[in-house]
Every structure is written in C-alpha cells, then in structure tokens.
Amino acid sequence: MLRARTPVASDIEEAYDIADTERDPEESSILKSEGRRIATCMERLGADRASAVRQAYVEGLSYEELATLYGVPLNTMRTWLRRSLLRLRECLGS
C-alpha cells in the first residue's frame, strides 16, 4: 500500500525533485565539525600556503599557474604543496 502511494519519476529531473536531499541533523553536525577541523589546520599553514592549497585542490589551478601567480619556481610550488598536504594530514590525524 505504501509503495503504491510513492510517486514514480519518469526522468532524472523528476527523480531529483522527489528525492529527499536534506541531511539529517547528525550528518550536518559531523560535516560542520570536520569543516572546522580543516579550517583550523589550514590556518596553521600560513596565508600563502593555505591559499595555494585551496587554489590547487579546490579551484583546480595547475602547479605552473600557481608558480606564476606566486612568483616562485615550479619546483618550489610543488614543494610548498607537498609539504602543506603533509602538514594537513598530520594535523587532521591528531
């Protein structure tokens, strides 16, 4: 009887409209907590390193673009990002 009342979507747009996309309170709380942890660890990197990490891994800038943007050699940018990721992993692991 319950299945009979559930609307059936004929295409993907209708399926999305029918789907419950709201997060439950527990999931929202966990995501906020993780976000705060990441933000805290990013602050420990320093402004230029944190910005470079965001631009590389969130915005999708290449190492070459970042090296040009920050005015450093390409290998220096690679080192910045590698060391920054290691520090983030260490910070988030503790």
Q: Identify whether 68 is part of a domain.
A: yes
- The answer as to whether 90 is a domain residue is yes
Domain that holds residue 86: 46-94
Please state the domain count of the chain: 1
pTM of the model: 0.64
pLDDT at 33: 81
Binned average pLDDT, 10 residues per bin, the chain of 94 residues:
53 55 74 85 91 91 94 95 94 83
With both helix axes pointing from N to C terminus, report the angle between 74-93 and 25-45 in degrees, rounded to the nearest 10.
130
CATH number at residue 64: 1.10.10
- The set of residues, in sequence order, having a beta carbon less than 8 Å from that of 15 and lying 6+ positions away, is 9
